[in-house]
Amino acid sequence: MTPLVNSLTPGLYIVATPIGNLGDLSPRAAEVLSQAAVIAVEDTRVTAGLLRHIGVKRPMTPYHDHNAAHVRPQLIARMGTEAVALVSDAGTPLISDPGFKLVREARAAGHAVVTIPGPCAAVAALTLAGLPTDRFLFMGFLPSKEQARAETIAEVAAIRATLVFYESGPRLAACLAALADGLGDREAAVTREITKKFEEAVTGTLAALAARYADAPPKGEIVVVVAPPDPPAPASAADADAALAEALTRLPASKAAGEVARALGLDRKALYARAMEMKG
């Protein structure tokens, strides 16, 4: 490996790792991992395999939900004089894991925080799904309990953005059925094994996808991408008149026109002219 830097400045290095294909590890990420004084990992066995791939051995310490409160102060203390790398088992740290607390406390302690960007399953799935990407909302894993899952879906049903969820094979069909119930039968994509030999993206409506996987739960890491809701139909002239008539009972014409314009997405000047006609 040709060195990219001679040594690392003390601080925290957030290193994205491959989500499947080890060839996706960037040269910069490999260099940081080879020089870090310690690497904070989810599972030492997984990261050990990655380090073997690049031919290096470095000290590792487990850092996950169960021990983070205990380990975090130790890592923060080391950042004053050493380079500490943070990795997840796959993809970009802090996406659906507790790493943000380590970043926040590192900054509060005055330590440098450096990101080494790379693979992210949620973003990769968006590129495969063929759905709008100008606005999207990452939701992580939905709750496993039916009522909590339905409540979470209801919270985002009206958001005009593509929705991205992580899911496991055994829960996939129930997740898709719940999404169909809560969001309507929107277009969606189920992507799995991204960057691996059997990578696939299966598209269809939520109901059709739920039926597909009901008796055949897939294996591998899964990302579900759901299209945004259809835009509302434009308000009719009768709708506008009815809304204006009600607003004029409470407000002067200019404010009534503004309220209805915001509510129905119509032109304020045209509504004001119509309001004056109605008052006359």
Q: Please report which helix (H) or strand (E) contains residue 141, including its range.
A: strand 136-141
- 232 in a domain, yes or no? no
Shared domain for 35 and 86, answered yes or no, is yes
Please check whether residues 220 and 241 belong to one and the same domain: no
Q: Which helix (H) or strand (E) holds 205?
A: strand 200-205
Query: Are residues 126 and 222 both part of a single domain?
Result: yes
Would you say residue 231 lies in a domain?
no
Residues 85 and 97 in one domain: yes
Q: What is the pLDDT of residue 233?
A: 76
Q: Is 13 within 8 Å of 36 (Cβ atoms)?
A: yes
pTM here is 0.81
Q: Is 4 within a domain?
A: no
Residue 153 located in a structural domain: yes
20 within 8 A of 50, measured Cβ to Cβ: no
Question: What are φ and ψ of residue 74, in 5° steps?
Answer: -65, -40
Q: Is residue 128 part of a domain?
A: yes
Sheet of 162-167, strand order: 136-141, 162-167, 222-226, 187-192, 200-205
In a shared domain, residues 59 and 81? yes
Q: Are residues 184 and 254 in the same domain?
A: no
Q: pLDDT tens for the chain, 280 residues: list them.
A: 444 445 899 999 999 999 999 999 999 999 999 999 999 999 999 999 999 999 999 999 999 988 999 999 999 999 999 999 999 999 999 987 778 999 999 999 999 999 999 999 999 999 999 999 999 999 999 999 999 999 999 999 999 999 999 999 999 999 999 999 999 999 999 999 999 999 999 999 999 999 999 999 999 889 999 999 988 778 888 988 999 999 999 999 999 999 999 888 889 999 999 999 998 7
Range(s) of the domain holding residue 268? 237-279
Query: How many domains is the chain partitioned into structurally?
Result: 3
- What CATH number is attached to the domain comprising 158? 3.30.950.10
Same domain, 130 and 154: yes
Domain assignment present for 3:
no
Report how far apart, in Å, the C-alpha atoms of 31 and of each of 20, 36, 42, 103, 117 are: 19, 9, 20, 21, 13
